[in-house]
Structure 1
């Protein structure tokens, strides 16, 4: 697998990467390209989505593993627990 191209849309909250998958088996080769779309959400919206899916947010940490502040805008990690 390799990344062929990428595009970020801040307004939509998405990053799209075009991925190329190649399989070679003897004389047969298959090449397929597919978009991979990564969505990001504001913290409140993500927590609402998790709750709607029946998950409870048990911890939110920053990139260093420390409790994330409510106004953190960088990468945060969620610990979720099913009902």
Structure 2
């Protein structure tokens, strides 16, 4: 083993670009909870779900502490959980 390969590598993630509710964000390429991504967009996780919109209209919805494997150019929208009261 050389001295070069024995050096610790910094724990830096590459940056990726995503969109939440039409607003662009640059974030580290790692997994996030839905709550973390909603907070990034300034929304409380308690009142919203996070939905990834894929090509051809496919959607995938995440709640609160559910993990999201974020990819570069992902498009997300927030969805209010407000229900109607009878």
- TM-score normalised by the chain length of structure 1: 0.31
- Higher normalized helix content (fraction of residues): 2
- Higher normalized strand content (fraction of residues): 1
Greater relative CO, 1 or 2 (CA 8 Å, sep 6+):
2
